């Protein structure tokens, strides 16, 4: 398996992958909207490829901070073909996202997901660092942050999801 930056030619495969991974059209719709939006960070979109087939996909996009022009990087969505789950594909994509965000000099990376899964990569509850979950977040305990630089001066306040996530 190799992980590389996603290209425009990968969009169709990524959409279908998320449809299979999540069993609905909600996440595929989100992928399409994010891909075409101004919050999409193309240098932080990755695919995992095996035998010339896209088996995993992750996007990183900008979220906001209430009452501020500050932009915060968010990992989502992350999807892996059902038959490839549990084999390190998702982990490789999370690591690619973390490494890419560090290379860009970002102080943090947000995610809403399983603390058991994302905790393995250094994510902790975001409210422990003064970042409150958006109103749309399903659970406070699932809204997490990875601090990417030891001396980072982290913003504080309520995170605001970008428009595609609020629909």
**3-state DSSP call for residue 74?**
strand
User: Which class is domain 2-166?
Assistant: alpha beta
Write phi, then psi, for 84 (nearest 5 degrees): -110, 0
**What pTM did the predictor assign?**
0.95
Q: Where are the domains of the chain?
A: 2-166
Helix axes 11-22, 26-35, angle to 10 degrees: 150
pLDDT tens string 7-54? 999 999 999 999 999 999 999 999 999 999 999 999 999 999 999 999
By the 8 A CB rule, do 30 and 165 touch?
yes
pLDDT tens string 114-142? 999 999 999 999 999 999 999 988 888 99
E strand or H helix that includes residue 63: strand 53-65
By the 8 A CB rule, do 134 and 158 touch?
yes
Helix, strand, coil abundance in the chain, percent, nearest 5: 35, 30, 30
């Amino acid at each position: 398996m190799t992980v590389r930056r996603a290209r425009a030619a990968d969009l169709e495969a990524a959409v279908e992958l998320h449809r299979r991974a999540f069993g609905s059209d909600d996440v595929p719709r989100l992928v399409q909207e994010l891909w075409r939006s101004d919050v999409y960070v193309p240098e932080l979109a990755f695919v995992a490829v095996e035998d010339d087939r896209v088996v995993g996909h992750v996007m990183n996009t900008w979220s906001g901070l209430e009452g501020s022009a500050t932009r915060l990087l968010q990992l989502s969505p992350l999807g892996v073909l059902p038959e490839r789950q549990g084999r390190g594909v998702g982990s490789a994509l999370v690591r690619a996202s973390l490494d890419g965000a560090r290379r860009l000099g970002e102080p943090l990376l947000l995610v809403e997901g399983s603390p058991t899964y994302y905790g393995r990569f250094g994510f902790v509850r975001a409210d422990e660092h003064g970042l409150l979950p958006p109103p749309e977040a399903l659970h406070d305990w699932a809204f997490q942050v990875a601090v990417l630089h030891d001396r980072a001066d982290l913003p504080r306040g309520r995170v605001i999801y970008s428009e595609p996530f609020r629909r």
